[in-house]
C-alpha cells in the first residue's frame, strides 16, 4: 500500500513561486536565467533575466492567463523547445495554481492530440513552428498562444489563428488572491511507459521543491554556482537537476537551445560555468575536442567517475533518477571516491531495495528489480493522471515504487545498472516504449504482426528495429512494405521513435506454452547474437 502524504511536511505553506519570490526580494539583481542562443538575433530584449525581472514577468503572464479564465487546477499545455518563455509559462501557471502540461517538442500532431485530450487542457503555449500541429491536435482548446522564441525545428503546417506571447502580459494587480498549496499538482510530464500511450506523471509543488532542495544538496550547489543547461526542458532532468536546484541555491542558469559541440566550451568559458548535467553521447562528442582551462567543478550523468574524467579534469557525479522520483534515489559521493561506472549509492532521502521476482531481497552481486520507497506527492510522484490502475500497479505491497529496472549492488554498497525489466528502449536519452511504436505499425491494414526491439548503438544508446509480418494484401498497395512503415511512423511518432530499420519476416518467433513473441531471440538477432 502506498504511503500517505502527511498533513505537515518540509514544504507546507510553500509553492514553487514562493522560492522565486524569495530570491526576487533578497537578491533581485542577481542573474537567474541567461539565455544563450546560437546567434545574436534573439528576439528577447536582453539575454540576462535577473531574479526580480523574471519574477515580475511571470506575474504579468499569470495575469494574462487569469484574464483568459485560467485558475486553480486548470491545465495548460506548454509545448516548446528550450527558451526563457517556457520557464516563464510554467511559473506563471504555478502562481495561479494551474497545472503545466509539459510535452516533448518533437511530438507529432497525433501524440499532441492525445496529450491535449487526456489532460483536458484548456489552452496551449507553443512556438510558431509548432502552431500548425498544435492547432490540428487541439481542436478543442480554447486558445493557443505562440512565443516568438528561436526554434530549430521545421515548420509543421500552416499556423492557426493564435495570439502572440506578448498578448499574455497583463497587470499583476488584477491577479486573484494567492492560495498556496504545496500538495496541489503543479506540472505533468508525459513519459513513455509499458503501455501503448505515454502516462502523465503528476508532480505537486512539494515534489518540485523536494527535487530543488535534495538535488541542490546532492550537487553541493551554492549561490556562486553557474549551471550550464542545454538538455530539453520538457524532461525532468533539465528541470529538476539544473533549473530547480539552481533556483533553490539562488545561483545562475545559462540556458542554451540544445547541445552544441561547437558552442559548448565557448559558453562554458564566457560564463565560468561550474555545474552541468550532461549525457554520455555529449561527452563522447566532446572527447573529439581539446579541453580548455575551465571552471567546472562537477558534471553529472548516469555513471560515477568514468575514465573520461581524467581527460576533462572534471569529476562526474553518477546517479539514477526518474520523472516519478524527481530527485535521485541513487547518487555518488560528491566529496569522496566512488566506484567508477557505478550509479552511486542509495541516497538517504529514499528507501532502496533490490528484490527478486518473489519480492525477497537480492544478495550482493545478484541482479534484482530496483524498488524505491518514498512518499507520493513529496519524494515520489503523486499519481499517473487519470489512471488509478497504473498508479496502483506501479507500487509493491510494501508501498515501494517498482522502477522496472534491473540492478545489482556490490559488497561495498555501490549499485550498477544491469538492464530493463520493462519493454523499453533508451534512444538518445529518451525513454521509448516498444508498444508505442508497435501500436502505430499494427494500425496499418497491410501489417499482420509487429514486434519492436532495441539495437545497441554506441552514439545513441539504442535504436528501434521493427520486425513486421505483412498481410496477404500488402503487395497490392504500391511501394515497399518497409517504405510504408517508415512513412506511417514518421507521420505519427516523434522522430526518435521512428524505427532505424524495418525487417520483414514470414512469421514472428514464439516461445513458451502461451506462444508469446520471443523478443529475446529478436534482440539477439540485432545485437550480434547475444540479446543485449
CATH code: domain 424-526 is 3.30.300.30
Give one word for 451, left, alpha or beta, with left for phi > 0 and alpha for psi -120 to 50. Answer: beta
Q: For 213-254, how does the pLDDT look when each residue is reduced to its tens digit (9 = 90+)?
A: 999 999 999 999 999 999 999 999 999 999 999 999 999 999
Task: Quickly state the pLDDT bin for 267 (edges 50, 70, 90).
Answer: very high
Task: Quickly state the pLDDT bin for 46 (edges 50, 70, 90).
Answer: very low
- Stated as kind and residue range, the H or E segment containing 118 is helix 109-119
Using the Cα atoms of residue 415, residue 417, residue 422 and residue 428 in order, give the sign of their dihedral.
positive
Which residues fall within 8 angstroms of residue 156, CB to CB, at 6 or more apart?
Answer: 109, 129, 130, 132, 133
Alpha carbon distances (Å) from 160 to 12, 127, 130, 526: 42, 12, 10, 43
**pLDDT higher for 531 or 375?**
375
Q: What number is the average pLDDT over the span 508-528? A: 82
Task: Quickly state the pLDDT bin for 45 (edges 50, 70, 90).
Answer: very low
Residue 137 has pLDDT above 90, yes or no: no
Q: In the chain, what percentage of residues exceed pLDDT 90? A: 75
* pLDDT, position 520: 81
Exposure string (b/e) for 292-311, b if CB count within 10 Å is 16 or more?
A: eeeebebbbbbbbbbebeee
Least confident of 267-271, 393-397, 460-464: 460-464
Cell of 109: 500532431
- End-to-end CA distance of the chain: give it in Å, rounded: 34
**Helix (H/G/I), strand (E/B), else coil: 481:** helix
Q: Where are the domains of the chain?
A: 424-526
144 phi, psi to nearest 5 deg: -135, 130
Contact of 261 with 285, CB cutoff 8 Å: yes
Residue 478 has pLDDT above 80, yes or no: no
Contact of 77 with 119, CB cutoff 8 Å: yes
Q: What number is the average pLDDT over the span 267-283? A: 95
Alpha carbon distances (Å) from 175 to 88, 135, 169, 495: 16, 28, 12, 40
Amino acid at each position: 500500500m502506498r504511503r500517505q502524504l502527511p498533513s505537515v511536511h518540509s514544504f507546507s505553506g510553500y509553492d514553487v513561486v514562493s522560492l522565486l519570490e524569495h530570491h526576487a526580494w533578497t537578491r533581485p539583481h542577481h542573474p537567474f536565467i541567461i539565455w544563450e542562443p546560437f546567434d545574436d538575433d534573439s528576439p528577447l530584449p536582453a539575454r540576462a533575466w535577473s531574479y526580480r525581472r523574471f519574477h515580475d514577468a511571470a506575474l504579468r503572464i499569470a495575469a494574462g492567463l487569469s484574464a483568459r479564465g485560467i485558475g486553480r487546477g486548470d491545465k495548460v499545455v506548454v509545448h516548446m523547445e528550450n527558451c526563457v518563455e517556457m520557464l516563464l509559462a510554467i511559473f506563471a501557471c504555478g502562481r495561479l495554481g494551474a497545472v503545466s502540461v509539459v510535452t516533448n517538442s518533437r511530438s507529432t500532431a497525433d501524440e499532441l492530440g492525445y496529450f491535449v485530450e487526456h489532460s483536458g487542457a484548456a489552452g496551449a503555449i507553443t512556438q510558431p513552428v509548432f502552431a500548425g500541429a498544435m492547432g490540428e491536435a487541439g481542436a478543442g482548446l480554447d486558445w493557443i498562444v505562440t512565443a516568438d522564441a528561436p526554434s530549430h525545428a521545421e515548420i509543421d503546417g500552416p499556423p492557426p489563428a493564435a495570439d502572440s506571447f506578448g498578448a499574455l502580459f497583463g497587470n499583476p494587480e488584477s491577479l486573484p488572491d494567492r492560495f498556496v498549496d504545496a500538495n496541489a499538482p503543479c506540472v505533468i510530464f508525459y513519459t513513455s511507459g509499458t503501455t501503448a500511450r505515454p502516462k502523465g506523471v503528476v508532480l505537486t509543488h512539494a515534489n518540485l521543491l523536494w527535487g530543488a532542495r535534495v538535488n541542490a544538496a546532492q550537487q553541493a550547489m551554492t549561490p556562486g554556482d553557474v549551471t550550464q543547461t542545454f538538455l530539453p526542458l520538457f524532461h525532468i532532468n533539465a528541470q529538476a537537476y539544473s533549473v530547480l536546484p539552481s533556483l533553490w541555491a539562488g545561483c545562475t542558469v545559462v540556458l542554451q537551445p540544445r547541445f552544441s559541440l561547437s558552442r559548448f566550451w565557448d559558453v562554458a568559458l564566457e560564463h565560468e560555468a561550474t555545474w552541468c548535467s550532461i549525457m554520455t553521447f555529449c561527452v563522447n562528442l566532446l572527447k573529439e575536442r581539446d579541453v580548455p582551462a575551465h571552471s567546472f567543478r562537477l558534471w553529472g550523468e548516469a555513471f560515477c567517475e568514468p575514465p573520461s574524467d581524467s581527460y576533462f579534469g572534471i569529476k562526474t557525479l553518477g546517479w539514477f533518477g526518474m520523472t516519478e522520483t524527481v530527485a535521485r534515489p541513487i547518487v555518488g559521493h560528491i566529496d569522496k571516491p566512488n566506484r567508477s561506472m557505478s550509479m552511486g549509492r542509495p541516497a538517504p532521502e529514499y528507501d532502496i531495495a533490490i528484490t527478486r521476482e518473489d519480492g525477497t531481497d537480492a544478495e550482493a552481486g545478484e541482479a534484482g528489480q530496483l524498488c524505491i520507497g518514498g512518499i507520493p506527492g513529496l519524494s515520489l510522484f503523486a499519481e499517473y493522471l487519470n489512471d488509478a490502475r497504473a498508479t496502483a500497479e506501479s507500487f509493491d505491497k510494501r508501498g515501494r515504487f517498482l522502477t522496472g529496472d534491473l540492478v545489482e549492488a556490490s559488497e561495498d554498497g555501490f549499485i550498477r545498472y544491469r538492464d530493463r525489466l520493462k519493454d523499453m528502449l533508451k534512444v538518445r536519452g529518451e525513454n521509448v516504449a516498444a508498444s508505442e511504436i508497435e501500436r502505430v505499425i499494427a494500425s496499418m491494414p497491410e501489417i499482420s504482426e509487429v514486434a519492436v526491439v532495441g539495437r545497441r548503438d554506441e552514439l545513441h544508446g539504442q535504436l528501434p528495429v521493427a520486425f513486421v509480418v505483412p498481410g496477404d494484401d500488402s503487395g497490392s498497395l504500391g511501394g515497399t512494405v518497409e517504405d510504408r512503415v517508415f512513412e506511417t511512423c514518421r507521420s505519427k511518432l516523434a522522430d526518435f521513435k521512428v524505427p532505424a530499420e524495418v525487417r520483414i519476416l514470414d512469421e514472428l518467433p514464439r516461445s513458451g506454452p502461451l506462444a508469446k513473441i520471443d523478443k529475446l531471440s529478436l534482440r539477439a538477432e540485432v545485437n550480434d547474437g547475444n540479446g543485449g
